[in-house]
């Protein structure tokens, strides 16, 4: 089924963002593990798996639309050096992905590609409600309880 090139382009942009998110979450998860912050490690390793699933869905849909997945272009990967910096970088990435998803959804609406739109809306819900909201909560907990108490709770 031949898809609109503009939608394939948007999906390739999203694919680059999801691949960058995978890389960033993978590195951060390993850092948390190395530091003994087991709860953060488990959660961020879970986020890595979610991003891998998102990338897989995008690749499958691009292929269905007879496009070529672009695995070489990626968004910036921002590796933090402290827990707050890592969480802030992850939140920034999720916000960028959310913005790209919204732009792609608008393009799908304009092109009347409702199947792709529905898939992207599911990814947007996951990005905003599961990923970004959790990161905002963690940053709020650091402000509320202090970094030392927060870190102790993550052991």
For residues 10 and 106, the answer to whether their CB atoms sit within 8 Å is no
**133 annotated ligand-binding residue:** no
How many residues are given for the chain? 155
HEC sequence for 9-68: HHHHHHHHHHHHHHHHHHHHHHHHHHHCCHHHHHHHHHHHHHHHHHHHHHHHHHHHCCCC
Residue 78 is inside which H or E element, if any? none
**94 annotated ligand-binding residue:** yes
Q: How far is CA 9 from CA 3, 65, 133, in A?
A: 10, 11, 28
Token reading at 135: 């990161």
The 8 Å CB, 24+ separation contacts for 121-126 are 123/14, 123/54, 123/57, 124/98, 126/50, 126/54
**107 annotated ligand-binding residue:** no
**118 annotated ligand-binding residue:** no
**96 annotated ligand-binding residue:** no
**46 annotated ligand-binding residue:** yes
Could you list the residues known to form a binding site, using ranges.
18, 46, 50-51, 54, 94, 128, 131
Residue ranges of the binding site for Fe cation: 18, 46, 50-51, 54, 94, 128, 131
């Amino acid at each position: 089924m031949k898809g609109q090139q503009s939608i394939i382009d948007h999906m390739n942009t999203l694919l680059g963002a999801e691949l960058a998110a995978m890389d960033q979450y993978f590195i951060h998860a390993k850092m948390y593990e190395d530091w003994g912050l087991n709860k953060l490690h488990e959660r961020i390793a879970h986020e890595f798996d979610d991003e891998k699933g998102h990338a897989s869905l995008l690749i499958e849909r691009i292929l269905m639309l007879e496009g070529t997945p672009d695995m070489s272009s990626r968004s910036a990967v921002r590796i933090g050096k402290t827990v707050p910096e890592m969480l802030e970088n992850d939140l920034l990435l999720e916000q960028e992905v959310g913005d790209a998803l919204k732009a792609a959804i608008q393009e799908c609406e304009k092109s009347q590609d409702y199947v792709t739109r529905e898939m992207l809306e599911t990814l947007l819900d996951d990005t905003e409600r599961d990923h970004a909201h959790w990161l905002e909560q963690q940053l709020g907990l650091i402000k509320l309880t202090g970094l030392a108490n927060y870190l102790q709770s993550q052991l």
